[in-house]
Amino acid sequence: MSSAGGEGPEAGTGRAGGRSEPEAPGSALSVDLPGLLGQLARSFALLLPVYALGYLGLSFSWVLLALGLLAWCRRSRGLKASRLCRALALLEDEEQAVRLGVRACDLPAWVHFPDTERAEWLNKTVKHMWPFICQFIEKLFRETIEPAVRGANTHLSTFSFTKVDVGQQPLRVNGVKVYTENVDKRQIILDLQISFVGNCEIDLEIKRYFCRAGVKSIQIHGTMRVILEPLIGDMPLVGALSIFFLRKPLLEINWTGLTNLLDIPGLNGLSDTIILDIISNYLVLPNRITVPLVSEVQIAQLRFPIPKGVLRIHFIEAQDLQGKDTYLKGLVKGKSDPYGIIRVGNQIFQSKVIKENLSPKWNEVYEALVYEHPGQELEIELFDEDPDKDDFLGSLMIDLIEVEKERLLDEWFTLDEVPKGKLHLKLEWLTLMPDAADLDKVLADIRADKDQANDGLSSALLILYLDSARNLPSGKKINSNPNPLVQMSVGHKAQESKIRYKTSEPVWEENFTFFIHNPKRQDLEVEVKDEQHQCSLGSLRIPLSQLLTSDNMTINQRFQLSNSGPNSTLKMKIALRVLHLEKQERPPDYQHSAQVKRPSVSKEGRKMPVKSQMSASPGTGGTNTAPSTPVMGVDDKPVMEEKPQPPEASPLGQRDLGRSSSSLLASPSHIAAKEPTPSIASDISLPIATQELRQRLRQLENGTTLGQSPLGQIQLTIRHSSQRNKLIVVVHSCRNLIAFSEDGSDPYVRMYLLPDKRRSGRRKTHVSKKTLNPVFDQSFDFSVSLPEVQRRTLDVAVKNSGGFLSKDKGLLGKVLVTLASEELAKGWTQWYDLTEDGTRPQVIT
């Protein structure tokens, strides 16, 4: 047995050895050391987060969250790459791409619109010129943009573009439409459907911080309008060329380097939105690029034209909508939670949500500026609010040219793309009148001649062209140039100019518009500020009644700034236009109907641009910051008596809308009880936090009568220090707050000095955990002079903090404190009642 046991291994070894080839010396010990180290490093990188979570005692759900985020990111990048390949295939061979079944929303414009023509000759010309266009773009990046970025900040002094390659795919014009009707004889209007799908490579570097980033592909799709005006009898026959987008174009960017982080889901939409806002600031209506071709043309009038009119939209009700909600996996049909999205050009509005109702009544009013009605439509889409994805309930497109002809429309419109459903709209086309003859009649029609409110239906439009300033003071530091910006406000509506860096004679050349409720009572307040030191460089107050007696209701001059240097001036052109509804005489049997345009693409194709534009910007309401485009400020202070909501009414759904010019909404809760016509009481519907708080308050009431202060009270000390030139606010405590959960609330206090709602102007207390009677005793200050602070309003909100990723965050109460008091220098300490929106605060001494 022993011999057999010994022979087996030896024989086996011998047979194996007999078949093996001679080996090189030391080959059995060769190891791929770099590969082994790389494998160990990857294993360590994978195991380290798991070990760290266990060591810190954190939940394993964080690992799952990270893995889910990684998978989502990879899926998002894969979808983006597939869209890029599909768009490239479309550009290379349209016919082949169509045969392969391209979606309708990807087809060129001439397929959908018979009056849109192909422009292959233009595409061939651009393709031939593309190498030279690329040379110009590279020179623009290196000789203009790069020095500007370096000079903007000392930390960017080593900024440079290492590579600028726009790619081989030229810009393509998918269709051209020339307007021949309803246009001025001295102008030519063209709409170009443009697409740019470029495998470009733009790399940048900041050597000081060893930072590299870049872009590897860009997609831009949109409608660009080209206006040639005025036509003249001498060469070159055209006085100027104006270029702009009718609405925000669709943009998609693939990032490289450090900016790869911007491709993470959640950040990719935000980054594209920021860039879209920058584009909108220069190229989206009402902004435009104007190139004068002759010296005599009035460039300012062409660059910032007066709007063609104002469209007032009464979004009243709908009937016979589809029931989209289902129960028991579709066995039981339910109703819908409808809301509407209304768009006029680049201005987007959203109505409140009506819960469980197929015949909802909104009774809301919107006002929108119309700059270019040829080619612009009123677009309305209805959706059913759902927790995951909202269902489509129908759409409607109305040609604004028809609305302008009719002046007043009050009709039921049948919804498109759905089997049933009707929408009741009342549309008014308001003409801009340059005289005050009809002002009293307009004020009486909107009932602005009796109330003392500064918000409601608009009677006039204020157009302000901000040109430049001269001899501004140096600010806090002597012999240093400030970074000036201009803040303009009418009532609680505020707007802000761009910042001009390191100059005492800034040039802005910006245009702003304000809707005015009653120009006889309201004032335009202008303040020039130093952004770097947050101090005032001068201010100005202009009563709007002064414009009523001016020639053509226009003032164009240099204004002397008060509380500034002796020769500090601000040049502005201000025009006031009365919003007049021309009621045409019609025979009794006259029937009118606005032309309803049928959608040219599928429902999915049309929904995407609207949603992408709406979900872009930062939130509305109390946290709104100054957007990059000139927009109307937020006013959370309704002044009308509240009207009880109908039983089916419900708070606004949780959606953030991109703010847009003339963003005006009113909900029934703002409408006076005795008014037969809905009136606007603020710039936008109640913020989401306010709506949620009202719903919570109704739940707490539950048939019982709440006390005088159902949301509790806050104690504040407010005074102005003339020595320090600061407003001092001491937040002492709160009492009897509402509970956000079973453990109570985690309250803190947030403050703004309106109309400034920038992040730098926000003040916050610490968070008090699990208490309804928190004590803060914290002092805050705002750098502002006494004359200026008496024109301001202190916005104080008590909020619930909640934990990280917690849903228990929201508003606990709010108060708006008017500072126009002679006692401000002495100061006072008082208790204030908290309300849902800060209106009508009751003072408890």
Residues 6 or more apart in contact with residue 579 via CB below 8 angstroms? 310, 430, 431, 432, 433, 442, 458, 459, 460, 461
- What pLDDT does 269 receive? 59
- What pLDDT does 26 receive? 45
* Cα gap 591→432, rounded to integer Å: 26
* Cα gap 168→126, rounded to integer Å: 12
* Comparison of pLDDT for 805 and 174, the residue scoring more: 174
- What pLDDT does 286 receive? 75
Whether residue 461 contacts residue 516, with contact meaning beta carbons closer than 8 Å, is answered with yes
- What pLDDT does 4 receive? 42
Q: 224: which strand partners?
A: 192, 245
- What pLDDT does 331 receive? 62
The percentage of the chain sitting over the pLDDT mark of 90, rounded to a whole number, equals 15
The arithmetic mean of pLDDT across residues 539-547, rounded, is 91
The arithmetic mean of pLDDT across residues 300-327, rounded, is 83
Judged against a pLDDT cut of 50, whether residue 649 lies above it is answered with: no
Q: What is the H or E stretch that residue 243 is in?
A: strand 240-245
Judged against a pLDDT cut of 60, whether residue 675 lies above it is answered with: no
The arithmetic mean of pLDDT across residues 779-784, rounded, is 89
**What confidence tier does 388 reach under pLDDT thresholds 50, 70, 90?**
confident
- What pLDDT does 561 receive? 92
CA angle 70, 162, 169 (to 5 degrees): 75
The arithmetic mean of pLDDT across residues 157-186, rounded, is 84
Judged against a pLDDT cut of 80, whether residue 656 lies above it is answered with: no
Model-level pTM? 0.59
- What pLDDT does 469 receive? 92
- What pLDDT does 708 receive? 65
The string over 9-31, giving b where at least 16 C-beta atoms fall within 10 Å of a residue's C-beta and e elsewhere, is: eeeeeeeeeeeeeeeeeeeeeee
- What pLDDT does 723 receive? 80
Cβ neighbour number for residue 104 with a 10 Å cutoff = 14
CA angle 231, 236, 237 (to 5 degrees): 20
The arithmetic mean of pLDDT across residues 169-177, rounded, is 89
- What pLDDT does 570 receive? 93
Whether residue 750 contacts residue 764, with contact meaning beta carbons closer than 8 Å, is answered with yes
Tokens of 146: 């790069």
CA separation (Å) from 268 to 608, 626, 660?
16, 22, 21
Residues 6 or more apart in contact with residue 685 via CB below 8 angstroms? 350, 351, 352, 364, 652, 665, 666, 667
The arithmetic mean of pLDDT across residues 767-786, rounded, is 88
Instruction: State the first-to-last Cα distance of the chain, in angstroms, to the nearest integer.
Output: 109
- What pLDDT does 775 receive? 92
- What pLDDT does 706 receive? 54
pLDDT digits (tens, 9 = 90+) for 606-637: 443 333 334 333 333 333 333 333 333 333 33
- What pLDDT does 22 receive? 46
**What confidence tier does 54 reach under pLDDT thresholds 50, 70, 90?**
confident
- What pLDDT does 427 receive? 92
* Comparison of pLDDT for 33 and 738, the residue scoring more: 738
Residues 6 or more apart in contact with residue 594 via CB below 8 angstroms? 398, 399, 402, 403, 406, 409, 411, 427
* Cα gap 250→220, rounded to integer Å: 6
**What confidence tier does 99 reach under pLDDT thresholds 50, 70, 90?**
low
- What pLDDT does 14 receive? 42
**What confidence tier does 835 reach under pLDDT thresholds 50, 70, 90?**
confident
**What confidence tier does 323 reach under pLDDT thresholds 50, 70, 90?**
confident
CA angle 123, 124, 128 (to 5 degrees): 115
- What pLDDT does 595 receive? 58
The percentage of the chain sitting over the pLDDT mark of 70, rounded to a whole number, equals 70
Q: What is the H or E stretch that residue 61 is in?
A: helix 61-92
Query: Which amino acid belongs to residue 416?
Result: D
Whether residue 714 contacts residue 841, with contact meaning beta carbons closer than 8 Å, is answered with no
The DSSP code for 438 is T
**What confidence tier does 789 reach under pLDDT thresholds 50, 70, 90?**
confident
Judged against a pLDDT cut of 90, whether residue 327 lies above it is answered with: no
The arithmetic mean of pLDDT across residues 732-758, rounded, is 85
Tokens of 774: 């928190």
Judged against a pLDDT cut of 90, whether residue 51 lies above it is answered with: no
* Cα gap 747→812, rounded to integer Å: 8
Helices (H), 407-477: 439-445
The region of weakest confidence among 6-10, 47-51, 295-299 is 6-10
**What confidence tier does 818 reach under pLDDT thresholds 50, 70, 90?**
confident
The arithmetic mean of pLDDT across residues 285-312, rounded, is 78
Question: Among candidates 463, 478, 763, which has minimal Cα distance to 630?
Answer: 463
The region of weakest confidence among 108-122, 215-229, 609-623, 692-706 is 609-623
3-state secondary structure of 87: helix
* Comparison of pLDDT for 535 and 622, the residue scoring more: 535
**What confidence tier does 603 reach under pLDDT thresholds 50, 70, 90?**
very low
The arithmetic mean of pLDDT across residues 732-747, rounded, is 86
* Cα gap 453→681, rounded to integer Å: 9
The mean pLDDT value of the chain amounts to 74
* Comparison of pLDDT for 845 and 574, the residue scoring more: 574
Most confident of 273-277, 303-307, 678-682, 791-795: 791-795
Question: Among candidates 690, 679, 671, 531, which has minimal Cα distance to 619?
Answer: 690
Beta strand 408-414 pairing with 713-721: unpaired
**What confidence tier does 106 reach under pLDDT thresholds 50, 70, 90?**
low
* Cα gap 375→779, rounded to integer Å: 55
- DSSP secondary structure string, 548-581? HTSGGGEEEEEEEPBSS-TT-EEEEEEEEEEEE-
- What pLDDT does 660 receive? 31
CA separation (Å) from 169 to 104, 126, 251, 413?
23, 10, 16, 44
- What pLDDT does 53 receive? 74
Tokens of 289: 């690029």
**What confidence tier does 672 reach under pLDDT thresholds 50, 70, 90?**
very low
Judged against a pLDDT cut of 60, whether residue 598 lies above it is answered with: no
pLDDT digits (tens, 9 = 90+) for 678-692: 224 333 334 445 556
The arithmetic mean of pLDDT across residues 580-589, rounded, is 70
Question: Among candidates 569, 514, 567, which has minimal Cα distance to 540?
Answer: 569
- What pLDDT does 780 receive? 92
3-state secondary structure of 720: strand
The arithmetic mean of pLDDT across residues 11-28, rounded, is 44
The DSSP code for 759 is G
Judged against a pLDDT cut of 90, whether residue 110 lies above it is answered with: no
**What confidence tier does 31 reach under pLDDT thresholds 50, 70, 90?**
low
* Cα gap 272→262, rounded to integer Å: 9
Judged against a pLDDT cut of 90, whether residue 486 lies above it is answered with: yes
The arithmetic mean of pLDDT across residues 563-570, rounded, is 89
The arithmetic mean of pLDDT across residues 53-77, rounded, is 77
The DSSP code for 60 is T
The region of weakest confidence among 45-49, 625-629, 800-804, 824-828 is 625-629
* Cα gap 595→650, rounded to integer Å: 33
- Strand spans (E) along 283-328: 289-292, 309-319, 326-327
The arithmetic mean of pLDDT across residues 144-163, rounded, is 78
Judged against a pLDDT cut of 90, whether residue 729 lies above it is answered with: yes
- Strand spans (E) along 497-620: 507-516, 523-530, 535-543, 554-560, 569-580
pLDDT digits (tens, 9 = 90+) for 242-275: 888 887 888 777 777 665 555 555 555 556 666 6
Whether residue 601 contacts residue 261, with contact meaning beta carbons closer than 8 Å, is answered with no
Whether residue 416 contacts residue 396, with contact meaning beta carbons closer than 8 Å, is answered with yes
Q: Tally the C-alpha atoms within 13 A of residue 272's C-alpha that lie toward its C-beta.
A: 24
- What pLDDT does 749 receive? 93
> Is the preceding omega at residue 236 within 30 degrees of 0, hence cis?
yes
Question: Among candidates 661, 667, 624, which has minimal Cα distance to 761?
Answer: 624
Whether residue 309 contacts residue 344, with contact meaning beta carbons closer than 8 Å, is answered with no
The DSSP code for 589 is T
- What pLDDT does 601 receive? 41
> Is the preceding omega at residue 755 within 30 degrees of 0, hence cis?
yes
- What pLDDT does 157 receive? 79
* Cα gap 836→697, rounded to integer Å: 9
Q: 19: which strand partners?
A: none
Whether residue 525 contacts residue 540, with contact meaning beta carbons closer than 8 Å, is answered with yes
**What confidence tier does 152 reach under pLDDT thresholds 50, 70, 90?**
low
Could you identify the residue written with the tokens 């959908």?
Answer: 112
